[in-house]
Structure 1
């Protein structure tokens, strides 16, 4: 499907009605084919404020939540590792298919949410198809990267932004607008996103998820390239306190890797970090790992498994992500000798190229 045709489809999907369901209570039903979960408690979790909204017991492979809610909100329910789904909790009868995540039905906002997921899936499928097409088009990896980068910037990303913007504009009075606006943060710079937030309804701006997003944008601006580093101190497992300033701003270029033992992409980046560390460590260059969102014992085990030899700050948890505004790992930042932020979100070949550039 051509991008302009897809865009028209996505805008149509985003134009779904946001009417209010007059029912004064909700019933959420679903089934679990695995009988081993019979007798297990299942919960509804609020994605906006992380509260547990409701609970019930799985009986004969089925569950049913009954209650009432004043303002609809995005929630999720999960049992085990296999059965998980997001849905909009609003008054009315909601049906969940635990074997097909993110396909709720039965109420107006869940129909809109499902259309959002369909639009997202369509774009992601086109993304993968284009990647396969470029692989067949050229065997030159450099050329392939440039072709795909150009496609992403000129076609795919604008289509995705248009899809999300459509959902934001058509859902100013309900949580779908806030959800789509939060997703826009993955594709826009802070200075691009701030006007969108400012023009949004009071309802959207008052949601916790958007207030947290606003705070994250402020953190990103404070820690943008060219800004001085923001220090933090972590108390490690043994009670020792370690600060970022123990390593950054000490006269060396310092690459700081925010990572976790459970993160596959983080582990995959380790050979790249090892390569630049071994190449430049005797030339005024340092690498430091900062374990975020991880248990110290798991971090230590991963350090041994991955044969990591550069310094590590353990048990940082949410401190770095709150200060530096990142919401995914690995997040790798290059700091200059005086602590100035040189580059953010470095990975792979781009990381090696940047380090080589500053170390020449």
Structure 2
């Protein structure tokens, strides 16, 4: 009976198998006037981003505390200095940790010296890893400088050179990671900076064979594996992943039900994104070109106030479906830049993705839609 109850609990609450953890870190500086200029964040693997956190102040001490879902909590502190933003990263566990700065802090490099208690400093590991990619990064900069100034979307060879140089950096990172699999800093580099460009099948193979079991089998490891498996579907098989959500008017949307009847254009954007706003007239042209019975346009606004989205819809005549701040869909489709536009056919195949190749004013997309419309 107990085993059945446990099984049901896991089905209902998959996070049940991973106990919630909480970090607590205190930063002690010599001058209390400095303390409130510090900013803090921690990494959330589910959001795949750093989350800002407000500290509690006590004289010359700032204390941050929060639950975390990574193997170790990744804590980042920043202190502006002129036009630069010096920063430090530490790894901590549930043991209360302390970062103590010396009596005289270096104004130009405030994080050059400190004492840690119950915390790990990965600075040297990151420095060595960075040195391993130095030549690849130098080559990338040379390619970028030679291509970027005069590049046009018609220059597919230039884009290929640029892309290959960018990938070469990630291959060098992966090489370093494979040689240092037991360093948590390697696992972080794999998760945060390598897993979005290299082939997902290659990354899954490395994930399963390189890292130790305590990394792979952690909650964070499970998240990395899901991310790569979803990439294999989206990019390898070029298949849409269905989702269920509600639009701005509280109407239910099930993606699979929609694309089984007609083509679907997913538009990831934000009210804060200049290029996204510039793209709206083109989307209106597409709406006029393709009637709703043939093409469903679904704009998905991220990190945008609801009322601001409503204003845009009214003022810009965005007469199609809108979803606001459903960040689960952004994460599911692994959106790294805006705007992103994805076209899905009636079999669930992804037949166009803006970020695959620069498409000025969505000209290639409009040609593809015109061809599809003529065959209706």
User: Counterpart in 2 of 1:297?
Assistant: 307
Q: Call closer, same or farther: CA 1:143–1:283 in 2, change over 3 Å.
A: same
Q: Call closer, same or farther: CA 1:342–1:225 in 2, change over 3 Å.
A: farther
Gaps of 5+ in 1: 1-24
User: Counterpart in 2 of 1:257?
Assistant: 267
User: Counterpart in 2 of 1:112?
Assistant: 125
Q: Give 1:94-243 correspondences, 5 Å limit.
A: 109-116=122-129, 127-135=140-148, 139=150, 141-142=152-153, 144-153=155-164, 155-158=165-168, 160-182=169-191, 183-199=193-209, 200-224=211-235, 229-236=240-247, 238-243=249-254
Separation of aligned partners in 1, 2:272 and 2:298: 18
- Out of 116-125 and 289-298, give the one that drifted further: 116-125
Q: Give 1:68-107 correspondences, 5 Å limit.
A: 73-77=73-77, 85-89=87-91
Per the TM alignment, residue 28 of structure 1 is displaced from its structure 2 partner at its CA by 5.0
Per the TM alignment, residue 236 of structure 1 is displaced from its structure 2 partner at its CA by 4.4
- SS of 2:359's equivalent in the other structure is helix
Q: Give 1:344-355 correspondences, 5 Å limit.
A: 344-346=353-355, 348-349=358-359, 351-355=362-366
> Does the CA contact (< 8 Å) of 1:41 and 1:57 recur in 2?
no
What RMSD, in angstroms, separates the aligned Cα atoms of the two structures? 4.6
> Does the CA contact (< 8 Å) of 1:294 and 1:317 recur in 2?
no
Per the TM alignment, residue 334 of structure 1 is displaced from its structure 2 partner at its CA by 0.7
> Does the CA contact (< 8 Å) of 1:85 and 1:98 recur in 2?
no
> Does the CA contact (< 8 Å) of 2:133 and 2:173 recur in 1?
no
Separation of aligned partners in 1, 2:288 and 2:141: 35
Per the TM alignment, residue 214 of structure 1 is displaced from its structure 2 partner at its CA by 1.1
> Does the CA contact (< 8 Å) of 1:225 and 1:343 recur in 2?
no
- Out of 310-319 and 116-125, give the one that drifted further: 116-125
Separation of aligned partners in 1, 2:200 and 2:36: 47
| Number of equivalent positions | 322
Per the TM alignment, residue 116 of structure 1 is displaced from its structure 2 partner at its CA by 4.4
Q: Call closer, same or farther: CA 1:76–1:249 in 2, change over 3 Å.
A: same
User: Counterpart in 1 of 2:42?
Assistant: 45
User: Counterpart in 1 of 2:5?
Assistant: none
Q: Identify which of structures 1 and 2 has the higher relative contact order when contacts are C-alpha pairs closer than 8 Å and 6+ apart.
A: 1
- SS of 1:314's equivalent in the other structure is strand
Per the TM alignment, residue 128 of structure 1 is displaced from its structure 2 partner at its CA by 4.3
Gaps of 5+ in 2: 1-23, 66-70, 372-376
Separation of aligned partners in 2, 1:229 and 1:98: 50
> Does the CA contact (< 8 Å) of 2:304 and 2:324 recur in 1?
yes
- Spell out, residue by residue over 1:298-341, the C-alpha distance to the aligned partner (whole angstroms, 9 max, x if none): 32234456x25241322351232344344544332111144433
Q: Call closer, same or farther: CA 1:283–1:132 in 2, change over 3 Å.
A: farther
> Does the CA contact (< 8 Å) of 1:76 and 1:84 recur in 2?
no
Q: What TM-score do you get using the length of structure 1 for normalisation? A: 0.67
User: Counterpart in 2 of 1:22?
Assistant: none
Q: Call closer, same or farther: CA 1:104–1:273 in 2, change over 3 Å.
A: farther
- Out of 289-298 and 37-46, give the one that drifted further: 37-46
